[in-house]
Amino acid sequence: DSGVTQTPKHLITATGQRVTLRCSPRSGDLSVYWYQQSLDQGLQFLIQYYNGEERAKGNILERFSAQQFPDLHSELNLSSLELGDSALYFCASSVVAGTDTQYFGPGTRLTVL
């Protein structure tokens, strides 16, 4: 158990809908990262927050957004969902930002029908 929690574990929804994925980092970690993993794309970095502020952006679509709250938990919002958004979404956390070890949560499996 990495200490990073993600909810829900599974999510099934329809195209065009909006969903919110939630992540709680390890106690003491200030940085949160979001990744998407699909079968044909591997692990893709989406976005990183550090102590409430956006720190780095990867291949995140404009339909996706995220935020980190004062209690350091983070939410990833996915809107206007498409079939191709079906994937595992992982959250990771680290103490500071970028150069230190990232600990991954168990992931949320999103299925868009």
Partner 1 sequence: QKEVEQDPGPLSVPEGAIVSLNCTYSNSAFQYFMWYRQYSRKGPELLMYTYSSGNKEDGRFTAQVDKSSKYISLFIRDSQPSDSATYLCAMSGPSNTGGFKTIFGAGTRLFVKA
Least CB distance to partner 1 at residue 61 (A): 17
Least CB distance to partner 1 at residue 76 (A): 15
Q: φ, ψ for residue 83 (rounded to 5)?
A: -55, -35
Query: What does the binding site for partner 1 look like in residue numbers (CB under 8 A)?
Result: 2, 4, 33, 35, 37, 42-45, 48, 50, 55-58, 88, 90, 92, 97-99, 101-107, 109
99 burial type by CB count under 10 A (0-12 exposed, 13-18 middle, 19+ buried): exposed
Rounded to 10 degrees, what is the CA torsion of 17, 44, 42, 97?
-130
For residue 82, what are its two tokens?
A: 């498409």
Nearer to partner 1, 74 or 102 (CB): 102
Least CB distance to partner 1 at residue 77 (A): 21
